[in-house]
Structure 1
Amino acid sequence: MAFPDRIERTVQLAQPPGAVWSALTTAEGLGAWFGDGADIDLRPGGAAQLRWDGGFTADLCVERVEEPVVFAFTWRLHGLPADDPRRTYVEFTLEPTDAGTRLTVVESGFAQLPLPDRAAPYEANTEGWDRELGELVAYLNQATA
């Protein structure tokens, strides 16, 4: 079996797409659930940064902005040197449902790494998306409580 190149997660949210979109695409929203602070220039080619207490940061490049349906960015694979050009592509797709919004997150591009080097970033990001999406759900539920 080939090593997977993508992580895909889907979560059903009780909030409408507009509320979810704001949580994904504003500095206030991102900084509340995806890290401890954020900046974002919401346009294709725009820069974004996520910050965590303790000094860790993640630099993003906005790739797609199709409000309120698709938001995507690229970011560096954790563990690679800062000057390494390889990035993974993260895409959020929002679909309205009777109950709120179905959010699908796909991160792809792990196959850029040699096979022995894929496992660590793939596993770290798989665990990371599970944790971060849980934080998104909690943030949105608290915001609408």
Structure 2
Amino acid sequence: MSDPVIDPIVRRELLLAADRDTVWSMLADADGLAEWLADEVELDVEPGAEGRLRWDDGEERRAVVEEVADRRRVVLRWWQEGGDPSLVELTLDEVDGGTRLVVVELPLAVLRAVGERLPAIVVGDGPAAGGVGGRPVARALACA
């Protein structure tokens, strides 16, 4: 019997009955993020900002905001103390009746492995890139 394959990439998609501006307000600042992502958030949602997210169960993650595309996308790198970092992308799309929120978390170890195997990598938005924007991925590869 073969070992089960565990996909290191986490992808969640939510259809929200709210317009994109309303949902953006839940992504664009610490108070909004504390409403749904973590119990306590200390993070300015702007490129280069560093902060912390804490949960009531004691979990804590440090975070760095990599990219912000107004009313569209937030990309951050986060990690637990002593743990490996992940790249997290939160993307909003307008759909009939509301907004789709797509959350993708990609461990940087996966990007490192890809970078070691390919002499050159070109990534951009879209299905071929798994929805991860080119600049954050390129930076993540450089930092990995």
The TM tier, using the shorter chain, reads 0.5 to 0.7
Measured after TM superposition, the shift of residue 110 of structure 1 is 6.3
Where does the alignment leave 5 or more consecutive residues of structure 2 unmatched? 111-144
Which residue does the alignment assign to 2:75? 72
Which residue does the alignment assign to 2:100? 102
The DSSP-based 3-state class of the residue aligned with 2:33 is: helix
The DSSP-based 3-state class of the residue aligned with 1:25 is: coil
CA contact (8 A) 1:5 1:111 kept: no
Which residue does the alignment assign to 1:5? 8
Distance 1:5 1:53, change over 3 A: closer
CA contact (8 A) 2:65 2:75 kept: yes
Where does the alignment leave 5 or more consecutive residues of structure 1 unmatched? 113-145
1:82-101 equivalences in 2 (<5 Å)? 82-83=81-82, 86-101=84-99
Measured after TM superposition, the shift of residue 62 of structure 1 is 0.5
Of the candidates 33, 39, 43, which is equivalent to residue 42 of structure 2? 39
Distance 1:65 1:87, change over 3 A: same
Question: Are residue 26 (structure 1) and residue 29 (structure 2) matched?
Answer: yes
Moved runs in structure 1, 4+ residues, more than 4 A?
Answer: none
Q: Which has the higher helix share?
A: 1
Greater Cα radius of gyration, structure 1 or 2:
2
CA contact (8 A) 1:5 1:108 kept: yes
Residue identity opposite 1:38 in structure 2: V
Figure out how many residues of one structure are paired with residues of the other and give that number: 108
Deviation by residue 1:20-79 (Cα, 9 ceiling, x = unmatched): 111122111111222222122222111132122354322111011001111111111x5x
Deviation by residue 1:71-103 (Cα, 9 ceiling, x = unmatched): 111111x5xxx345x311110110011211011
Residue identity opposite 1:13 in structure 2: L
CA contact (8 A) 1:5 1:110 kept: no
CA contact (8 A) 1:94 1:104 kept: yes
Tell me the TM-score normalized by structure 1.
Answer: 0.65
RMSD: 2.3
Which residue does the alignment assign to 1:63? 66
Tell me the TM-score normalized by structure 2.
Answer: 0.65
Percentage of matched positions with identical amino acids: 35
